[in-house]
Structure 1
Amino acid sequence: MEVSVKLFSVWSMLIMAMLLLSAKALNEKDDLVQSRNVETEKLQSLKNPLMATRSKGASSDHAVDNPEEIASMVQMNIKNSTERRNLGFFSCGTGNPIDDCWRCDPNWHLRRKRLADCGIGFGRNAIGGRDGKYYVVSDPSDDDAVNPKPGTLRHAVIQDRPLWIVFKRDMVITLKQELIMNSFKTIDGRGVNVHIAYGACITIQFITNVIIHGLNIHDCKQTGNAMVRSSPTHYGWRTLADGDGISIFGSSYIWVDHNSLSKCADGLIDAIIGSTAITISNNYFTHHNEVMLLGHSDSYTRDKQMQVTIAYNHFGEGLMQRMPRCRHGYFHVVNNDYTHWEMYAIGGSADPTINSQGNRYLAPLNPFAKEVTKRVVTTGKWRHWNWRSEGDLLLNGAFFTPSGTGAAASYARASSLGAKSSSLVGALTSDAGVLTCKRGSKC
């Protein structure tokens, strides 16, 4: 009897142990299945972010069929935002934000209009002919200023629709009369050697959204007292023109970039009569007296709205004065290289606000021309004008005479981009002027 009880106890313990092992195995299997289900759900959710919503019975009427397309659209929007000027995929890392935006793309010639997204400063929103078709200039002649031939530069710039104007080959264009432009035009000389010289030059009058890039503009003459066409439907009598390289008159959203200018009858670039939202960048100025005038006259108060950015330019050999000469308005002179002047670099009258930041000023040997600034006044009113030098590199005895109370609001209106260290000016302006660009390679 005692043996039977012991055997029964042993069997009971064995059965209980087997039951416990079985239960544990089932639990582990359930845990494993549940774990795998969770992992599967996670993988599915990674492949399709809408899976969790769909599994809860939510409506799928607005589900995205092609998430890759949406991602591509987002990336495009990012590229088109202000972040486009950060150093990105095509960047050489030169530090020049305009050049870093487009120059390192070996297929720049297939994406020319990308340039319109690379503007800086007060004229950064100038889109030129970005939204239009390409127009190829194949004929350098300018035989008739009233009825220009198709294929000529004059025929291109007067059209009343956006155009991105390029050139079929190298050419010298000698204009008989002013080249009067229409709105929403880009003149793009990249990839060829284009000179506008020995005749009239460019007039931007009462229009908007113009980009001028990659032109050699020199030896401009006085012309006028003639009929000139300004649009497909209008031509009129033009009095004597001053002979400026580029004359900006009552216009806005203008960007003049990477041109080489010299030896014109009047100014190389003038902006007057209420012009504003202008950027003058990466240009190479040489051999000229009165380089740049910004403002019509001391009495023309409409120019108080004027805002001009002058950035990354090289003011080189043979220059005398007006780099620029300002009247009313707000002027940001930033990261330019001044290697030559005979009289002075920056001048003004009529209470302009001049914000000079991160420039390199190399004074001439003449001991009486060391001062960067010149105020064209005969009274002490200039002491109230807001002119400042911030982070400029002053060499060979150069000195900048500041003035004004340093009003924050005035300098805010004369600030258009972040200045870089003046020690970088040499690199920032090393390629100022017309670039040598070849198709299929970086420019």
Structure 2
Amino acid sequence: MEKPSFPCLVSWLLLFSIYSLHVKAMNVIDSCWRSDPKWSTNRKALGNCAKGFGSSTTGGKNGAIYIVNDASDDSVNPKQGTLRYGVIQTEPLWIIFQKNMLITLKNELIISAYKTIDGRGAKVEIAYGPCFTIQLVKHVIVHGISLRDCKAAKPGPVRVSPTRVLRRSGTDGDAITIHSSSKVWIDHCYFARADDGLIDIVHGSTSVTVSNNYFTQHNKVMLLGNQDGLIPDKKMRVTIAFNHFGPGLHQRMPMVRLGYAHVANNYYEPWNIYAIGGASNPTIFSEGNYFIAGTKKEVTHRNIASRIEWEKWNWKSSKDAFTHGAFFKPSGSGSANTNYTPSQLFSVAQGSQVPSLTSDVGPLNL
């Protein structure tokens, strides 16, 4: 057998090194499924890849695959083949899309339990109408979808199951509202411009992971707990990891009340008001993030609290990278450790590695 020439060997080693670097740069969630070149033949393997507090969600992993082939919408009598028809079914479903599509919803899309909305392999945009509501359910995954230009929904009837239509009171216009729900994972989505927030996690919701998303062009980005003194939000546990907070964002990346947020390995471009804020004594652990300051240097903001009060709030920073004068103001004397279970746990990199780890955020071109 002829041995490879030295130039060929060097070329091979160079290509291998480039490939190895690429693999090493992939974050732990992505490497779980993207390392398989045949992922499209085993889509449900994605359901094993969440980390953090939302890692236990199964979504529609234990159900059939449902294919969306119709971009139309009817909020009361949806046709088979539309997205709404799929998400209101009572059984678990893994929902995929036959082709690229822009869906303008007629009213809020109320997603039932044990559903995965998987946009991989198509360009799927939800825009110019009301967007997603996840309420009083468990086990929901939303992956690879663009949610932009979301509008407030007007009061009116909305079908929530094959046998039930409810009269809804309307919405504020969030891109995604997670209300009194648990075991939810939002991954690789694009968020921009909404009448209210981009993601609200409220009213006792917990066990949520928000990862690998791209956020841009909005004021109030992400709200965790929407009322001071709402006791159920004390149990809230949310992981925000590997996201890119892009240009044109003002505040709430996130804003936390009462509960606990692990904010890890996110990329922050300059913010216009603040990056991470809170009220009502939440616990916040900022770990391994990459902060680029603009005119506003302080990462943190305490809302409506005296210094004597907020100095007791347990906010900690570890492994964070601060550039252009950015700084995090810690507080509290206790521990902010995540106390993850083994299945939730993931290794958090130094903040300096975040630009590489978040280089593929948002819907992927697969």
1:111, distance to aligned residue in structure 2 (A): 0.6
Secondary structure at the counterpart of residue 303 of structure 1: helix
Tell me the alpha carbon deviations over residues 402-430 of structure 1, each in whole angstroms, 9 at most, x when there is no partner: 0001x23x534489533111111011100
Equivalent residues in 2 for 1:180-195, closer than 5 Å:
180-195=110-125
2:246 matched to 1:316?
Answer: yes
Which residue of structure 2 lines up, in the alignment, with residue 429 of structure 1?
358
Q: Does 1:115 align with 2:36?
A: no
Conserved 8 A contact 2:315-2:330: yes
Show the counterpart of 1:377. Answer: 304
2:324 is equivalent to residue 393 of structure 1? no
Contact 2:179 2:203 in 1 (8 A): yes
Structure 2 CA distance, aligned partners of 1:333 and 1:252? 18
Aligned residues of 1:388 and 1:402 also touching (Cα < 8 A): yes
Please give the per-residue CA displacement for 1:313-356, whole angstroms capped at 9, x wherever unaligned. Answer: 00001100000000011110000000121010000000000000
Unpaired runs of at least 5, structure 2: 1-21
- Work out the CA distance in 1 between the residues paired with 2:48 and 2:298: 37
One-letter code of the match for 2:59? Answer: G
Letter in 2 for 1:104: S
Which structure 2 residues correspond to residues 147-296 of structure 1 after superposition, within 5 A? 147-296=77-226
Report if aligned partners of 2:100, 2:124 keep a CA contact under 8 Å in 1: yes
Output the amino acid matched with 2:322.
Answer: L
One-letter amino acid of the structure 2 residue matched with residue 118 of structure 1: C
Between Structure 1 and Structure 2, which shows a larger proportion of strand residues? 2
Quote the Cα distance in structure 1 between the aligned partners of 2:89 and 2:266.
35
Quote the residue 2:6 is aligned against.
Answer: none
Contact 1:358 1:393 in 2 (8 A): yes
Deviation at 1:138, TM superposition (A): 0.5
Letter of the 1:433 counterpart? G
Name the CA distance, whole Å, in 2 between partners of 1:322 and 1:416.
25
- Is the contact between residue 175 and residue 201 of structure 1 (CA under 8 Å) also seen in structure 2? yes
In structure 1, distance between residues paired with 2:346 and 2:315: 17
2:279, 2:305 within 8 Å by CA — same for their partners in 1?
no
Equivalent residues of 1:387, 1:403 under 8 A apart:
yes
- Tell whether the 8 Å contact from 1:207 to 1:251 is kept in structure 2 after alignment: yes
User: TM-score by structure 2 length?
Assistant: 0.91
Give the Cα separation in 1 of the matches to 2:320 and 2:305. 27
Cα drift, residue 223 of structure 1: 1.1
User: Would you say the 8 A contact 2:267–2:358 is kept in 1?
Assistant: yes
SS of structure 1 residue aligned to 2:84? helix
2:14 corresponding residue in structure 1: none
| Higher CA-based Rg | 1
- Conserved? CA contact 1:330–1:413, under 8 Å: no
The letter for the 2-side match of 1:376 is: N
| Structure holding more helix per residue | 1
Q: How many pairs are equivalent? A: 341
2:346 maps to 417
Which of 259, 263, 266 is residue 329 of structure 1 equivalent to? 259
Whole-Å separation in 1 of the counterparts to 2:346 and 2:100: 35
Conservation of the 8 A alpha-carbon contact between 1:122 and 1:278: yes
Q: Distance in 2 between the 1:296 and 1:338 partners?
A: 23
How do residues 21-170 of structure 1 correspond to structure 2 at under 5 angstroms?
A: 92-142=23-73, 144-170=74-100
Give the residue type in structure 2 aligned to 1:394: F
Could you say which residue in structure 2 is the equivalent of 1:25?
none
SS at match of 1:116: helix
TM-score (norm 1): 0.75
State how far apart, in whole Å, the 1-side matches of 2:338 and 2:219 are.
31
The 1:129–1:275 alpha-carbon spacing in structure 2 relative to 1, beyond 3 Å, is same
Native 8 Å contact 1:167 1:189 kept in 2: yes
Q: What is the CA-CA distance between 1:92 and the residue it aligns to?
A: 2.8
Residue 146 (structure 1) shift: 1.2
The verdict on how the C-alpha distance between 1:328 and 1:372 changes in structure 2, with shifts beyond 3 A counting, is same
Alpha-carbon contact 1:176-1:199 (below 8 Å) kept:
yes
1:404 alignment partner, one of 332, 336, 354: 332
CA distance in 2, matches of 1:255, 1:412: 18
Tell me which stretches of 4 or more aligned residues in structure 1 moved more than 4 Å: 413-416
Counterpart CA distance in 2 for 1:431 and 1:228 is 36
Check whether the contact 2:28–2:346 (CA below 8 A) recurs between aligned residues.
no
Letter in 1 for 2:31: D
Among the aligned pairs, what percent are the same residue? 51
The separation in 2 between residues aligned to 1:234 and 1:387, in whole angstroms, is 44
Asked whether the 8 Å contact 2:262–2:338 carries over to 1, the reply is no
CA distance in 2, matches of 1:351, 1:184: 33
Structure 2 CA distance, aligned partners of 1:329 and 1:398? 25
Calculate the aligned-residue CA RMSD, in Å.
1.3
Q: Distance in 1 between matches of 2:72 and 2:260?
A: 39
